[in-house]
Amino acid sequence: MRRNVGGATHRGFLYVRTDGTTRLAPVRSPVIRSAKRWHGPDDFWVSDDPTLVDLARVHRWLSTQSYWADGRPYDVVARSVRDSLTLGLYGSDAVQVGVCRWVTDYATFAWLCDVFVDPALRGRGLGTFLVATATAHPEVKDLRLQVLATRDAHDLYRRFGFEPVAAPERWMERRR
């Protein structure tokens, strides 16, 4: 017999076996969340519901208009959206106009990446709204380490508490 003991943000994540020991629930994606929505300027809104994400649009943005994901295949974009805490930015007509995602274990670490606002709508505060929502997200905001990499938008992220890496000599990377 199984009894859910998941916490407030991870319901269904854990169960107690009849011998009293706790195990991870045998599901492929362990994080079961209820989607949330935040309202911003000019009736734009952000949702963390991955099923709302317009994958074709996000794929086009990232694979053809970003400097870090040039040529990223569609299925890679789809998996990254599914298996991250992905936030979509939408207009009042529900058309997607931006995206970002946290790669996170929901416990100790989160990496903010693929931050993108439709070029036609930049410069009117939507990127700020998106990053503000992402950094205030209840499942990530208090994690001990939150990181990101950016070529030129440091000032945007600085407003939300990001600073240059304190000890860059400790960091390494492995690229493929």
Ligand X SMILES: CC(C)(COP(=O)(O)OP(=O)(O)OC[C@H]1O[C@@H](n2cnc3c(N)ncnc32)[C@H](O)[C@@H]1OP(=O)(O)O)[C@@H](O)C(=O)NCCC(=O)NCCS
Residues at the site binding ligand X, with contacts judged by CB under 6 A: 66, 115-117, 122-128, 150, 152-153, 155-156
CA 75, CA 106: separation in Å to the nearest integer? 24
The DSSP 8-state label assigned to residue 108 in this structure reads: S
Output the smallest distance, CB 122 to ligand X, in A: 3
CA atoms within 13 A on the CB side of 27: 12
**Least distance in angstroms from the C-beta of 61 to ligand X:** 8
CB of 131 to ligand X, least distance (A): 7
Residue nearest to ligand X (CB): 127
Cβ(96)–Cβ(90) below 8 Å: yes
CB 130 within 8 A of CB 98: yes
For ligand X, which is the closer residue by CB, 26 or 119?
Answer: 119
Handedness of CA 158, 161, 167, 168 (dihedral sign): negative
Residue among 82 and 159 whose Cβ is closer to ligand X: 159
Closest CA to 133 of 35, 9, 8, 37: 37
> Which residue, 91 or 125, is less far from ligand X as judged by CB?
125
In the complex with ligand X, the residue whose CB is nearer, 10 or 146, is 146
Q: How far is the CB of 96 from ligand X (least distance, A)?
A: 13
